[in-house]
């Protein structure tokens, strides 16, 4: 039985049970399993009338919604290859991906998205709006089953350097991953009966987000979807989830928000909180005093429960975090509050996941062991190599690119890592991000950038530069002063070998973003674009820091 048949059976069992709800304008729009199945069959009827053929690529361009889910499931059930696109990307970037995959049709959530595509690509193929699709009342039989090697989606990678590439994932890739994710969630939810309650805010078009969506549908969970990021904190509490998927940036913001709110409130709660934080670190270092145990006990009784309740709600079992390494300090901070953060590591090419923290054995700073059926080892330059049923078949129409990363079944991730004796992995950085100094030293920038960010609460991003130069310098975005940056450098540099120390810096008020072309669709730094765009500023930064030295 394919993963899609399993999902449809789960929805049929939940015909009268709410499995999905959209939070819009303070109201929850609920959808039962039966209602979602009806929308899937309705969409299938519409697709069949359009004379689309099995194997045709179809663009799916929309924000998250129940209609997105129904159309995604319907297209897969019809044997079409879904190409999900991130609605916030610039039309030119969307058109480049669409031209690459040569779609037979494009399905748009609204007229604005359709018009943006049409303007950038007048020769675009047929485009259909969700309102048209779900206005027809046609319903059809389920259709033929998926075979294990059938391609079901092409998900375009971030493209941190160069054009985005289309990752082709098969029914076998997806089925294996869903069995692994559901098994790990069984461990997390052991002892709790009824539906899992899941909160979701990340775009469905991203691989990890989509895998969680499908896992929730397969498990019959109640998935509550945020539709307005400005209301995220309120709707997070409203959903009262058992768990949800996060990116490190959100957890960092949550941590800073608690610090700021308690600092502004002052008084006894702030005093207990501050003392308890210091006591927690000393407890981890096994040098806690009797006084530390007092303050920690007091905070655990009255302060930490209040923070948890206000932050997320009463049911939370764990936060799940992926897409980028999470700072150890942030993971330990949530552990102090009694909230486990379970890390996940993977790439689109590995069907989103290679490793997952075990709920009862998570180690701060590591991303857990390889999932069932997946092998991982180190290659040259400590590069992580992965083999297993989760590995993609190749990049769409890019055999040379595919051959560069797939050798004898092993996928070369481009990530540097290490594993401990228990098989728990730690991600060090990206090989292609390595900075090669004029001295010949190779420096992974990410760990140093993370350390500086921890020292700069007002900063948005830190980006190291230094290829071919005598020393490292940093570009810092956000609301920070030169004095604050220098203080951060004075705190971090003594902990680093001489060639990894940061000797210069520049400050930019404007943060790097998707809109200004400095971040990928899923929020990763476009380092090549940053270096090219800020070439003159970087030269000035080095000239100024050289003069100071």
Task: Please tell me the predicted confidence (pLDDT) of residue 156.
Answer: 95
What is the DSSP pairing of strand 410-419 with strand 383-387? antiparallel
| For residue 325, pLDDT beyond 80 | no
The sign of the torsion formed by the CA atoms of 161, 162, 166, 167 equals negative
- The average pLDDT across 287-293 equals 89
| For residue 36, pLDDT beyond 70 | yes
Distance CA 326, CA 158 (A): 19
Tokens linked to 529: 């674009």
Task: Please tell me the predicted confidence (pLDDT) of residue 444.
Answer: 83
Angle between helix 267-284 and helix 248-265 axes, rounded to 10 deg: 130
Q: How many helices (H) and strands (E) does the chain have?
A: 19, 25
- Which residues are paired to 21 by β-bridges? 30, 224
**pLDDT band with cut points at 50, 70 and 90 for residue 549:** low
The model carries a pTM of 0.85
Task: Please tell me the predicted confidence (pLDDT) of residue 489.
Answer: 95
Tokens linked to 140: 């059809």
Nearest to residue 447, comparing CAs of 428, 423, 471? Answer: 428
- The average pLDDT across 193-207 equals 93
Task: Please tell me the predicted confidence (pLDDT) of residue 143.
Answer: 67
Q: Which of 166-175, 232-241, 490-499 has the highest mean pLDDT?
A: 166-175
Domains, in order of start, for the chain:
3-242 (3.40.50.12780), 248-314+317-431 (3.40.50.12780), 434-548 (3.30.300.30)
Tell me if 442 sits within 8 A of 436, measured CB to CB.
yes
Distance CA 23, CA 235 (A): 7
DSSP H stretches of helix in 162-228: 171-188, 207-219
- The average pLDDT across 396-413 equals 95
- H/E element, 527: helix 527-533
| For residue 394, pLDDT beyond 90 | yes
Determine the 3-state secondary structure of 397 from DSSP.
Answer: coil
| For residue 172, pLDDT beyond 80 | yes
What are the residues whose beta carbons fall under 8 Å from the beta carbon of 211, sequence distance 6 or more?
174, 177, 178, 181, 351, 352, 353
Burial 282-297 (b: 16+ CB within 10 A, else e): ebeeeebeeebeebbe
Distance CA 284, CA 495 (A): 20
- The average pLDDT across 317-332 equals 88
Taking every pair of C-alpha atoms in the chain, what is the biggest distance, in angstroms? 75
Distance CA 179, CA 183 (A): 6
Distance CA 463, CA 452 (A): 10
Provide the CA 145 distance to its chain's centre, in angstroms.
30
- The average pLDDT across 385-392 equals 97
- The average pLDDT across 165-186 equals 97
- Alpha-carbon separation of residue 52 from 100, 121, 141, 320 (angstroms): 19, 21, 16, 38
Mean pLDDT of the chain: 91
Query: At residue 246, what are phi and psi to the nearest 5 degrees?
Result: -135, 165
- Alpha-carbon separation of residue 315 from 271, 311, 330 (angstroms): 27, 12, 21
- The average pLDDT across 252-263 equals 88
Nearest to residue 530, comparing CAs of 480, 492, 476? Answer: 476
């Amino acid at each position: 039985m394919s993963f899609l048949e399993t999902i449809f059976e789960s929805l049929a069992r939940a015909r009268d049970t709410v499995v999905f709800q959209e939070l819009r304008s303070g109201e929850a729009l609920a959808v039962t399993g039966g209602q979602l199945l009806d929308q899937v069959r309705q969409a299938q009827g519409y697709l069949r009338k359009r004379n689309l053929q099995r194997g045709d690529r179809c663009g799916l361009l929309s924000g998250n919604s129940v209609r997105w889910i129904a159309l995604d499931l319907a297209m897969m059930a019809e044997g079409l290859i879904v190409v999900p696109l991130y609605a916030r990307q610039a039309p030119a970037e969307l058109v480049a991906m669409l031209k690459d995959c040569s779609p037979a049709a494009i399905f748009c959530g609204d007229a604005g998205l359709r018009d943006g595509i049409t303007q950038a690509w007048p020769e675009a193929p047929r485009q259909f709006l969700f309102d048209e699709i779900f206005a027809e009342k046609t319903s059809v039989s389920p259709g033929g089953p998926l075979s294990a090697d059938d391609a079901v989606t092409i998900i375009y990678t971030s493209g941190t350097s160069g054009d985005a590439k289309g990752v082709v994932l098969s029914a076998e890739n997806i089925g294996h991953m869903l069995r692994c994710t559901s098994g790990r969630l069984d461990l997390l939810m052991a002892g709790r009966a009824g539906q899992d309650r899941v909160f979701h805010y990340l775009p469905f078009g991203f691989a990890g987000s989509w895998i969680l969506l499908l896992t929730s549908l397969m498990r019959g969970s109640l998935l509550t979807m945020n539709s307005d990021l400005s209301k995220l904190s309120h709707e997070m509490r409203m959903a009262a989830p058992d768990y949800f998927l996060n990116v490190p940036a959100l957890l960092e913001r949550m941590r800073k928000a608690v610090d700021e709110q308690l600092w502004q409130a002052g008084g006894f709660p702030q005093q207990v909180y501050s003392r308890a934080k210091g006591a927690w670190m000393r407890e981890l270092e096994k040098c806690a005093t009797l006084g530390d145990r007092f303050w920690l006990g007091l905070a655990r009784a009255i302060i930490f429960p209040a923070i948890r309740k206000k932050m997320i709600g009463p049911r939370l079992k764990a936060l799940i975090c992926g897409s980028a390494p999470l700072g150890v300090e942030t993971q330990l901070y949530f552990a102090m509050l009694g909230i486990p953060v379970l890390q996940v590591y993977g790439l689109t090419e590995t069907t989103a996941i290679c490793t997952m923290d075990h709920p009862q054995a998570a180690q701060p700073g590591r991303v857990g062991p390889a999932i069932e059926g997946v092998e991982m080892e180190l290659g040259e330059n400590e590069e992580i190599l992965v083999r297993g049923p989760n590995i993609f078949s190749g990049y769409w129409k890019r055999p040379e690119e595919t051959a560069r990363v797939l050798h004898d079944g092993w996928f070369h991730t481009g990530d540097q890592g290490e594993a401990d004796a228990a098989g728990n992995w730690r991600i060090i950085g990206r090989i292609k991000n390595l900075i090669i100094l004029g001295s010949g030293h190779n420096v992974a920038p990410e760990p140093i950038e993370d350390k500086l960010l921890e020292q700069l609460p007002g900063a948005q991003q830190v980006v190291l530069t230094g290829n071919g130069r005598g020393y490292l310098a940093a570009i810092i975005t956000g609301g920070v002063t030169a004095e604050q940056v220098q203080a951060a450098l004075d705190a971090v540099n003594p902990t680093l070998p001489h060639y990894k120390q940061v000797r210069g810096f520049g400050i930019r008020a404007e943060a790097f973003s998707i809109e200004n072309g400095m971040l990928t669709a899923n929020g990763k730094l476009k380092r090549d674009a940053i270096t090219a765009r800020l070439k003159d500023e970087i030269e000035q930064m080095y000239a100024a820091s050289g003069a100071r030295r």
